[in-house]
Amino acid sequence: MSKPKVLQVGPLSERFNRELAEQYEVSALWQQAEPLAFLREHGEQFIYMVSSARFGCTVDQLALLPNLRAICSFGVGYDPYPLELLRDRGIVLSTTPDVLNDCVADLAMGLMIDSARRLSEADRFVRSGAWNSTTGFPLARRVSGKRLGIVGLGRIGEAVALRASGFSMPVRYHNRRAVEGSPYQHEPDLLALARWADFLVLTCPGGKATHHLINAEVLEALGPDGFLINVARGSVVDEAALITALQQKVIGGAGLDVFEREPQVPAALRELDNVVLLPHVGSGSVETRQQMADLVLDNLRAFIATGKLLTPL
Ligand code: 8YV
């Protein structure tokens, strides 16, 4: 029996690429010299697509895939997919929820501690040889007991809140609607949450609805003792406003795992000591990435066998 054909938009781990190729007849779109010309010629063969929260897919690609029925995406984000078009065409999309909650929440805690206690900066201080008998490292800010404001209390936000309880941090959150049954106080006014919080942690989805939600006004409300932590999407923060706020000490500091134009990180950010910069590694542990990969393959297998995805969006 011939293997089902799968269109893979971008490369994932070597192991994933290998496992996919063992089970399916895979066409690697990114390896085509002219991806759209390839789709024009072969697009109608594909019913299944594999992509990721990084690569997504475009309207132009979809126009050349008239028989596409399912996209299995690696990652929990869905902002690079034209969702309305998918809905209109009846194309279903699976993501990889839950398996990455712990790692992303761990990283958010790491960024809170790093930015407030200045761990990365202190590491640079030691490495540079600046530590000597007369020069100690300047004092930092306490984390335990501080107020945590979560923007976007979903599965990852809940995991951050749970960890924060071990640090005796009171938690409030901002969502458009209150989360039913949540033990945390809902704050419908984002500015009020920013004024209240010592740490504002972003765990909301990206996309139009949250574009530049964190602007100069919110940063001003967070204030000179406040820290912004972004493990969501770069698009949620007005990066230019954030750079100004960090330069002028409008906020105390920031910890960022995501940026507006990845992998580009503005030089102005790289020059600042009051920001911790990570290369989008929220889910980046061996264990979690393996679980995410398995879930993509499980979704694909389930859809081919039953017409239903395991974790549809
Ligand atoms: C992914 C992410 O690893 O899950 C997401 O939405 O942002 C990351 O966990 C990455 O984007 C997948 O390519």
199 assigned to some structural domain = yes
Residue 296: which domain range? 5-99+287-306
CA distance 189 to 202: 15
Say yes or no: 168 and 251 in one domain.
Answer: yes
Nearest CA to ligand 1 atom 2: 75
pLDDT score for 274: 98
Q: Looking at the 3D structure of the chain, how many domains does it have?
A: 2
Backbone angles phi, psi at 106, to 5 degrees: -60, -45
3-class DSSP state for residue 228? Answer: strand
Which member of 25, 262, 271, 287 is catalytic? 262
265 assigned to some structural domain = yes
CA distance 238 to 242: 6
Say yes or no: 162 and 201 in one domain.
Answer: yes
pLDDT score for 135: 84
Which of 283, 286, 290 for a ligand 1 pocket mutation test, highest count of atoms within 8 Å of Cβ? 283
Mind listing the pLDDT tens digit of every residue in the chain (313 residues)? Answer: 799 999 999 999 999 999 999 999 999 999 999 999 999 999 999 999 999 999 999 999 999 999 999 999 999 999 999 999 999 999 999 999 999 999 999 999 999 999 999 999 999 999 999 999 888 999 999 999 999 999 999 999 999 999 999 999 999 999 999 999 999 999 999 999 999 999 999 999 999 999 999 999 999 999 999 999 999 999 999 999 999 999 999 999 999 999 999 999 999 999 999 999 999 999 999 999 999 999 999 999 999 999 999 999 9
pLDDT score for 1: 76
Say yes or no: 156 and 122 in one domain.
Answer: yes
Please indicate whether residue 262 is annotated as part of the active site.
Answer: yes
pLDDT score for 103: 98
Say yes or no: 139 and 250 in one domain.
Answer: yes
Question: Which one-letter amino acid corresponds to residue 218?
Answer: V
Say yes or no: 117 and 255 in one domain.
Answer: yes
Find out whether the peptide bond into 263 is cis, omega within 30 degrees of 0.
yes
Planar angle of CA 205, 207, 211, nearest 5 degrees: 100
Compute CA distances 37 → 31, 43, 247, whole Å: 12, 9, 47
Which member of 147, 163, 280, 301 is catalytic? 280
282 assigned to some structural domain = no
User: Is 283 close to ligand 1, i.e. is its CB under 6 Å away?
Assistant: yes
pLDDT score for 133: 84
Cβ atoms within 10 Å of 132's Cβ, excluding its own: 7
Say yes or no: 88 and 111 in one domain.
Answer: no
Say yes or no: 153 and 137 in one domain.
Answer: yes
pLDDT score for 256: 99
User: Is 76 close to ligand 1, i.e. is its CB under 6 Å away?
Assistant: yes
Question: Residue 240 sits in a domain of what CATH number?
Answer: 3.40.50.720
Give the Å distance between the CA of 76 and the centre of ligand 1: 6
Give the Å distance between the CA of 288 and the centre of ligand 1: 11
